[in-house]
Structure 1
Amino acid sequence: MNTEAAPKRHRHRHGRRTRCTPWYKAWYAKTSPARLAVTALLLVVLCGLSVHAGSLGLAHLQVIRVENDLMRWQQSGKVSSPEAMQNALTAIDRAIALHQDNPYQLSLKGRLLEWRAFSTGGDAAAADYGAALDLYRRAAALRPLWPDSIAEMINVKLNLQQLDGELGGLMERADRLGPYTPAVHAAIVRAAFASGQHDSPLLQRHLLRGLQDHRSRGQMQELTQQYRQESTACDLLAQAPEPKPSLSFCDNQGLSTNN
């Protein structure tokens, strides 16, 4: 007979487990209904801002792509390919779909259409210039004090050969909004030469300012030669107060020496 005692089992008494209440339930229980309502409203606003910030980021990526394309085309003087143009238009359309009332994005699409018109020519070019003009009008309505949109409208109307009363009104408006803006100098000088307004105070004012500004000096000379208005430009410079800006083809008396 086995007399060896079986090992004793020790029973340990455990106290009842205490359940911890999650922090959010504790906060919820101690928070007034008014505070809960304010918190919920803030969360909704935060979610909305997050979605808006995300859409802004997506649109910005598309805008950067279009800006890079336009920069390359400007440097080379031509659109790299029809596929590149279509891809750029698709990108800017995506950005506009995200933010339909962004004037800068509307202007970017207008520039793309101008480049396509420049590349294709013919009836299709007139349609693209017309669409670009509409986009610039929308941008100007959204940003009425921005002179560059007015300058863009002037240039497109010149491309469409619309030398009408609206063009004169745009020149006056651009002069008021951007008296020292390079894009305005170029647009007004070009419009004055194209429409034969050689005695216009606007022409003299912006030709002089354009020549005094290093950002637009070269363009002033190019426009003068493009429209074969060297004598007109030199005569205007001769009437300008000192110190007079210079053109490479004018002598000290403001007369043309090359033509």
Structure 2
Amino acid sequence: MALASVYEHHQLAIKRIARSVFFITAAWGVVWSAQFFVSGNYYYRVNNQLNAWQSNPERVTASKVSDAITKIDSAISMFPDNALYYQMRGQLYEWQAFTANGTADSNKASMLNLAAANYQQSLLLRPLWPASWVGLASVKWKRNEVDDTFYQYMKKAIQVGPQDAIVHQFIVEFGLANYAARSPEYIKVIQPLKHHMNLGLINPHSREAIVQSIVNYNAEEPACRWMRLATYPVRKRIPNCITYK
């Protein structure tokens, strides 16, 4: 009887432990699901803002950027190993620097440093993410540091994301800016500019941004000339490139 009692007590203890483990696991699952839902909600809200700001920079305000950073900070606190969140926070710090025009240069530099640090952290978690390599190149450009390191970042972005919309957009923007400014850097980027303008006009995710860059820099004529060997669907997207006279 004593052995049976000990055995029964042992079985009851095992059952209690199993129930405790089950409830702890279930509770953790509920917490994780809640965090996933909240962080995902923050991500989509901030992502929608970033897309809107890209098309209409005049809508960006310091308070909107600060609010977006608070949201993505919360997402990172819940999922600190998510490379996408760091890449997104890097973009937000770039926008914060954009809204800091007119303030002390040190403040703007500090924001760009934070942007670069977040892109670096993103790449530590996901080294083959083209958006983060583009982000590092973007920060260098904003710092007026178009040097060998800048071109290394751009080259790496092209290597890991040769068909990525953000790569097309950045190279076209950089190339057209240097073309408009008659900068010597234009010579270095003319071939990538032509290549990624063509690909960017084909890609539905970058097409609108590429056309907007062409218009913003009044580059319809040279863009049409550069794309003279491109397909008709590409050329017709460039304003005033295809006529029916």
Question: Which interval holds the TM-score relative to the shorter structure?
Answer: 0.7 to 0.9
* Cα RMSD for the two superposed structures: 3.6
User: How many angstroms does 1:98 deviate by?
Assistant: 1.9
Cα displacement (A) at 1:121 = 1.1
| Residue of structure 1 in register with 2:181 after alignment | none
Name stretches of at least 5 consecutive residues in structure 1 with no aligned partner. Answer: 1-26, 253-259
TM-score, with normalisation over the residues of structure 2?
0.73
Aligned to 1:170: 153
Q: Which has the higher contact order (CA 8 A, sep 6+)?
A: 2
Equivalent position of 2:80 in the other structure: 100
Alpha-carbon distance change, 41 to 162 in structure 1, aligned in 2, over 3 angstroms: farther
Structure 1 counterpart of 2:119, from 136, 141, 148 = 136
Q: Which residue of 2 aligns with 1:84?
A: 64
Amino acid of the structure 2 residue aligned with 1:248: P
What TM-score, normalized to structure 1?
0.69
For 2:168, the equivalent position in structure 1 comes to: 185
Stretches of structure 2 that go unaligned for 5 or more consecutive residues are 1-6, 179-184
Structure possessing the higher radius of gyration over alpha carbons:
1
In the alignment, the residues of structure 1 paired with residue 207 and residue 50 of structure 2 have an alpha-carbon distance, to the nearest angstrom, of 22
Q: Which residue of 2 aligns with 1:59?
A: 39
Shift of residue 150 of structure 1?
2.1
Indicate the larger mover: 135-144 or 36-45: 36-45
- How many pairs were matched up? 226
Match of 2:91 among 107, 111, 124: 111
Seq. identity, %: 25
2:200 is aligned to 210
- In 1, distance between residues paired with 2:148 and 2:55? 34
Instruction: Map 1:34-49 to 2 at 5 A.
Output: 39=18, 42-43=21-22, 44-49=24-29
Contact 2:220/2:239 (8 A) holds in 1 = no
Q: How far did residue 28 of structure 1 move?
A: 6.3
Take 1:207 and 1:180, find their aligned partners in 2: how far apart are those partners?
11
Q: State the Cα distance separating 1:184 from its structure 2 match.
A: 0.9
In structure 1, C-alpha distance between the alignment counterparts of 2:66 and 2:189, rounded to whole Å = 43
Q: Given the superposition, is the C-alpha separation of residues 28 and 157 from structure 1 closer, same or farther in structure 2, using an over 3 Å criterion?
A: farther
Give the CA deviation at 1:186.
0.9
Deviations 1:212-257 (A, max 9, x none): 223323322333354455554334223x3555721224468xxxxx
